Amino acid sequence: MPVAHLKAGSAPSKQRAAAGIGPARHMEDELRAQNERFSAAVENMSHGLCMFDAEERMIICNRNYIDIFRLDARMMKPGIRFFDILLHSVDIGIASQSADELYAIRKPYIDGAKASTYEEILSDGRIIVISHRPLAVGGWVSIYEDVTEHRRAEEELKEQHRLFDAALANMSQGLLMYSAEGRLIVRNKRFLDLCNARAADFKLGMTHRQMLDKLVRLRIFVPIEIDAEVARTKACLQAGQPRSSYRELVDGRTLFVSRRPLSGGGWVATFEDVTERRRTEERMTHLAHHDALTGLPNRSMFRERLDMALERETVMPFAIFSLDLDRFKAVNDTWGHPAGDWLLRSVAERLRRCLRNETDLVARFGGDEFVVMQFNFRGIADAEKLAKRIVEAVARPFRDKNREMHVGVSLGIVTFPNDGSDADTLLKNADTALYRAKSEGRNLYRFFEPGMDAILQARRALEVDLETALPRQEFELAFQPIMNIASGDIIGAEALLRWHSPARGIVAPEDFIPVAEETGMIVSLGDWALRNACAAAATWPPGLRVAVNASAVQLGSEGFARGVISALAFSGIPASQLELEITETVLMDESKTVLKTLRQLRELGIRIALDDFGTGYSSLGYLRRFPVDKIKIDRSFTRDMRNRDTAAIVRTIIELGMELGIVVTAEGVETEAQLDMLRHHGCIEAQGYLIGAPSKAADIQRLLTSRALHSQTG
Ligand code: C2E
Ligand code: MG
Ligand code: MG
């Protein structure tokens, strides 16, 4: 260790030592001991140290100093000049500047009287902090500290802070960090943005409770129970559990807040704006539970509600209404699907308004099927009231732009617990009651009755039988003659369907035609009737007309006109010999395609007769809609002609026909008196048992042929 003894006390101690005096010797020992302690202290310093005298010669330096500058220990003997040390450090390449430059830097410190600190950067990049202190006796002492590591750590920390700040500032989530003491220590800008708040509102150091309180007071969060919230968060975090929840904001947005405990105590809370995601989610669940067209709950949601109602512990009676629109298909066919959609939406809206009770529910099951659930149901009278309201609401015309649509609704009603204890049974029975309502007419409601099942099953059985009746050739046509009243001549015959069912016997058209219409089977059955009627007419004397009934369903079906033309072509009879009997419902359909079809057929020379006139709605209006060739007064009027009012109606129809140049035929003429009356009023044609009952094709053919011969010979 290059240590020089302190000069200050060296001369007197030497003298004392030379004199050999006891106390002087003692002092010398003392001094040596002091020097040794000093050397040991210097040597054990954690920093480098170097002391110079007034002549800039080194007095003492420690090992750390030599190590810091990687100096040659052998050179570092006391007495070496400061400048030589600088030269040496340049020689060994540790200095990053020349000795002169280094000296020039140091010189002001050496000459100055003030303690100061400066840095030197070595050629290997290390940073040395040098504390310079002048000594009272001249010279100075320098303390050297290698701060390279320290600085690097500091830089790293700074960099980390910078990155952390950047990350915080750029987070899409708001972030708050609380210390173990529960005080706010970090808060990013995004949090303030999310809350539309100022930094001053949420100062660091605030407690969780203060934060929540402020968020509510500034009308950012919708009011919450702050104590409970603080307690919940605390409990979770103490248990080491994360906690997340939704927070509703006053402006309608929703934040998702998630809190995680930190390993050193405290926690971090992140805030995410999930308004859009939530809305999408809500929309998705809404979609899954609602009908897209009308926005009403759909079948699956209805089932959920029904199941919930059934699972209640105490029995709460309720009613279910199964609804089906009447004539909806006609609207769709007439006006097109967009209009049908509009109508369904309008119906949905009216149904919604019919419900008086918040808890009541109307759902759309699809197509024109709706279901209503009525709670708070005290008895049949309640259900009846609602049913009437619904029927009236839907019966009112639907007006859209310049269209006016008329539909109706049929309802089947079940009540819980009377009509079933489970969802399936209740819905099935409601459908059964609906079926009944529909078969009894339109715009009706029917409560379920136990026997209805059987009726429904019977009806299903009829459908099944009817389905196979055509291929099994169980149908036959009967023909009923039609007479010109003035001349008494038979001018033709109407073809009427007869079903000989092996299981049921003869089934009346009134019993199977509505079923065939509903199942759509009437299309093929009607086509069969048309072909066979035309084929039969081909065997009749020329000029005789065959009348064939055509239902609305047939006319609305595609290819009807083609079927008629092909029936004519196959039979070979002229178009003028065929008469199609349609009912008012056909014209009521307002369908452009139906009217177009009729017009097309009429242009071919086929005659169009309006059947069952007077039984429908406002018949006269439809005559303007489509010019028919013939009106057939319904047999119910003929039968009732003795009644003065009825007679007046019949007379009016006949006069109307004369005025419009339309042939009028009276149906169901059974007595001479009826025929006389009709003749008297100027009715042109008559049909009925008096003239001839419907008979087999062969019989009618014989009758027509003999009459023709008779009139030729007579
Ligand atoms: P409609 O076209 O009005 O046929 C006349 C109905 O009156 C026939 O009943 C006929 O038997 C009955 N009738 C004839 N004269 C008299 C009489 O003097 N007194 C009484 N009380 N009734 C008389 P039917 O054959 O039972 O047919 C009933 C309805 O079935 C027909 O009424 C028609 O609407 C429909 N229909 C019959 N055949 C067909 C068909 O091939 N296609 C279609 N779409 N409907 C048909
Ligand atoms: Mg008819
Ligand atoms: Mg008729």
527 lines ligand 1 (CB under 6 A): no
CA 513 to centroid of ligand 2, rounded, Å: 12
Residue 713 lies in a domain: no
Q: Given the DSSP bridges, would you call strands 403-405 and 398-400 parallel, antiparallel or unpaired?
A: antiparallel
Neighbours of ion ligand 2 (CB under 5 A): 549, 581, 611
Instruction: Report pLDDT digits (tens) over 272-297.
Output: 999 998 888 888 888 788 888 999 99
* Same-domain status, 265 and 311: no
* Same-domain status, 598 and 536: yes
For the CA of 529, the closest atom of ligand 1 is 41
349 lines ligand 1 (CB under 6 A): no
* Same-domain status, 299 and 386: yes
Whether the predicted pLDDT of 468 surpasses 80: yes
Asked which of 408, 425, 452 is the last residue of a domain, the reply is 452
686 lines ligand 1 (CB under 6 A): no
Instruction: Report pLDDT digits (tens) over 427-449.
Output: 999 999 998 898 787 788 999 99
* Sign of the alpha-carbon torsion through 94, 98, 100, 101: negative
Instruction: Report pLDDT digits (tens) over 158-176.
Output: 999 898 888 888 888 999 9
Q: Model confidence at 11, in pLDDT bands (50, 70, 90)?
A: very low
570 lines ligand 1 (CB under 6 A): no
* Same-domain status, 486 and 625: yes
Asked which of 426, 452, 478 is the last residue of a domain, the reply is 452
550 lines ligand 1 (CB under 6 A): yes
Residue 158 lies in a domain: no
Instruction: Report pLDDT digits (tens) over 137-166.
Output: 899 999 999 999 999 999 999 999 898 888
Task: Report the first-to-last Cα separation within the chain, whole angstroms.
Answer: 166
- How far is Cα 225 from Cα 254, in angstroms, rounded to an integer? 17
pLDDT of residue 16: 47
Residue 185 lies in domain: 171-273
612 lines ligand 1 (CB under 6 A): yes
The two tokens of residue 326 are 């009447």
Strand, helix or coil for residue 579? strand
Q: Given the DSSP bridges, would you call strands 663-666 and 630-633 parallel, antiparallel or unpaired?
A: parallel
* Same-domain status, 395 and 521: no
- How far is Cα 257 from Cα 633, in angstroms, rounded to an integer? 78
Query: Which residue is closest in CA terms to ligand 1's atom 3?
Result: 612
How does DSSP assign 191-248, residue by residue? Answer: HHHHHT--GGGS-TT-BHHHHHHHHHHTTSBPP--HHHHHHHHHHHHHTT--EEEEEE
636 lines ligand 1 (CB under 6 A): no
* Same-domain status, 264 and 286: no
- How far is Cα 354 from Cα 360, in angstroms, rounded to an integer? 10
pLDDT of residue 589: 64
User: Looking at residue 649, which CATH number applies to its domain?
Assistant: 3.20.20.450
SS3 content of the chain, % helix, strand, coil (to 5): 50, 25, 30
Instruction: Report pLDDT digits (tens) over 321-366.
Output: 999 998 888 788 778 888 899 999 999 999 999 997 788 999 999 8
The two tokens of residue 393 are 């609401």
Q: Model confidence at 500, in pLDDT bands (50, 70, 90)?
A: very high
Residue 164 lies in a domain: no
Asked which of 388, 421, 452 is the last residue of a domain, the reply is 452
609 lines ligand 1 (CB under 6 A): no
369 class by beta-carbon count within 10 Å (0-12 exposed, 13-18 middle, 19+ buried) = middle
Among all ligands shown, which has an atom nearest to the Cα of 522? 1
User: Looking at residue 101, which CATH number applies to its domain?
Assistant: 3.30.450.20
514 lines ligand 1 (CB under 6 A): no
Instruction: Report pLDDT digits (tens) over 187-206.
Output: 999 999 999 999 999 999 99
What is the amino acid identity at position 155? E
Q: What is the pTM of this model?
A: 0.53
CA 596 to chain centre: 41
CA 438 to centroid of ligand 1, rounded, Å: 22
For the CA of 522, the closest atom of ligand 1 is 44
Asked which of 15-29, 202-216, 579-593 is least confident by mean pLDDT, the reply is: 15-29
CA 496 to centroid of ligand 1, rounded, Å: 6
Whether the predicted pLDDT of 14 surpasses 60: no
Structural domains of the chain, count: 4
Neighbours of ion ligand 3 (CB under 5 A): 611-612, 667
